[in-house]
Amino acid sequence: MNMMTNTPETAGYRVDVSRGTRISRVASEWFSRSDDERFLSLSDLYDAVKQRADRANVRTVESRAVRVEASRENPERLSLQVPGQDQPLAPTHWSFGQLCSLVGAPAAYMRQLPAALAGINLQHGLLSHRAELMKTLEAEDGRVELRAVTGPDYGRIWDHELVAAVMKIAGNGTGDTMWKVPGMLDWQTMRHNPFVDITKDTTTLYASDRDVFLFLVDDTHPIEAGRLPDGEPDLYFRGFYCWNSEVGSKTLGIASFYLRAVCMNRNLWGVEGFEEITIRHSKFAAQRFAHEAAPALARFATSSPAPFVAGIKAARERIVARNDEDRENFLRKRGFSKSDTGRIIETVLHEEGRPPESIFDFVQGITACARSRTHQDSRLELEGKAKALLERAA
């Protein structure tokens, strides 16, 4: 294993993005975020989500004690009178949908009704709500806003808690530690350049009024795991992304992996060793975050890549097919169809200039074929088979 160093003058590292898998999760976030949801440092992101948490109040109330009213100032808008809160609560688009779901009303239909009529329906649902209790998340900022409505056992993990856990290993996320907002792949030179200015266009630190999402890499210390067919080093970087929603729109999750490059629109290329932890916001979610997710993130951030490199090396060295019959039998015995078997072998022949021989050859062929699948389920099935093959070789 070789850990390589770099300086801004080197213009990045040459990578082979035809290998591994492509993950578009970060790209989806990048495309959908408005400017006010993009942050240039972890400290700015933390301040924003911590301040809204500081303005928040959580209470558990009897649902039948909640009163739904149409605003006199705006007859198209509802408000809620909640025990213990003197001011009326203004539901957000998200919390209105949660409230409808809680009482079994179709949110899309309710939004089409006049406020007074929608209020009558919601009031009926609250009075007959069998669970009897509900938990509210309120925030005061000029007016008192109802940010979330959940069941009484909802286990909230605050967005700032996740950001704080990331800051323990990544500092500000701007290069003050090895973990940083990623650089960018130059498609003309096929080099990943770690040294790119962090702007609203390039940042991967996001937060909206209902969630937070962060993606960081260690792309200034590439890891060499074998050689490419032309003799160049096959380089990887470590990366992770994580997400949460304190209002219940998402689980909490952390995904760690090795990747070869990140392009301008934040697609991840050449991904290997993908692992994911998710935690539902159930009653003991906060404890699970403290004892499982946060330590797992810290372990990945400080762990040696040696096991990953050893696995890649073992897969490269383990020869499982020496002729066409061996190749076909190897794939067919592992559940691949005749057509998929032909495509995988042909893909390796085209990309490597020779037919597959090692476990690693077959893994690369399978993942390359998976990238061409338009249906996600089919793609994930192929990628899962490739991952299982690689793990068994290690």
> In angstroms, rounded to a whole number, what is the distance separating the alpha carbons of residues 61 and 298?
37
Do 271 and 22 meet the contact criterion of CB atoms below 8 Å apart?
yes
* Joined tokens for residue 301: 């951030």
CA-to-CA separations, 294 to 168, 254, 291, in angstroms, rounded: 10, 9, 7
pLDDT given at position 7: 46
Select from 146, 173, 250 the least CA-distant residue to 208: 250
pLDDT given at position 87: 87
Number of H helices, E strands in the chain: 13, 18
**pTM of structure:** 0.82
pLDDT given at position 9: 43
Do 255 and 241 meet the contact criterion of CB atoms below 8 Å apart?
yes
| Backbone dihedral region for residue 268 (phi beyond 0: left; psi -120 to 50: alpha; all else: beta) | beta
> In angstroms, rounded to a whole number, what is the distance separating the alpha carbons of residues 140 and 146?
9
Could you tell me where the DSSP H helices lie in the chain?
Answer: 25-32, 42-54, 93-102, 107-112, 115-127, 159-170, 285-288, 294-302, 306-317, 324-332, 338-352, 359-371, 376-393
Contacts for 34 with CB less than 8 Å, ≥ 6 apart: none
> In angstroms, rounded to a whole number, what is the distance separating the alpha carbons of residues 134 and 274?
37
pLDDT digits (tens, 9 = 90+) for 317-366: 888 888 888 889 988 888 888 888 999 999 888 877 888 888 888 888 88
pLDDT given at position 74: 63
Do 245 and 211 meet the contact criterion of CB atoms below 8 Å apart?
yes
Contacts for 247 with CB less than 8 Å, ≥ 6 apart: 94, 95, 98, 137, 147, 148, 209, 210, 211
Residue by residue, pLDDT tens for the chain (394 residues) are: 444 444 444 578 999 988 888 899 999 999 999 999 999 999 999 999 999 999 999 999 998 899 998 765 665 678 898 988 888 888 999 999 999 998 888 999 998 888 888 888 889 888 887 778 889 999 987 788 999 999 888 999 999 999 999 999 999 999 999 999 999 999 999 999 999 999 999 999 999 999 999 999 999 999 998 887 778 899 999 999 999 999 999 999 999 999 999 999 999 999 988 888 888 888 888 888 888 888 888 888 888 888 888 888 888 888 888 888 888 998 888 888 888 899 999 988 887 788 888 888 888 888 888 877 877 788 878 888 888 887 776 6
> In angstroms, rounded to a whole number, what is the distance separating the alpha carbons of residues 105 and 98?
10
Select from 141, 104, 137, 143 the least CA-distant residue to 247: 137
Q: Say how far residue 230 (Cα) sits from the centre of its chain.
A: 34
> In angstroms, rounded to a whole number, what is the distance separating the alpha carbons of residues 163 and 7?
29
Do 47 and 39 meet the contact criterion of CB atoms below 8 Å apart?
no
Helices 324-332, 338-352: axis angle to 10 degrees equals 130
pLDDT given at position 297: 85
pLDDT digits (tens, 9 = 90+) for 138-158: 998 778 899 999 988 899 999
* Joined tokens for residue 73: 């100032």
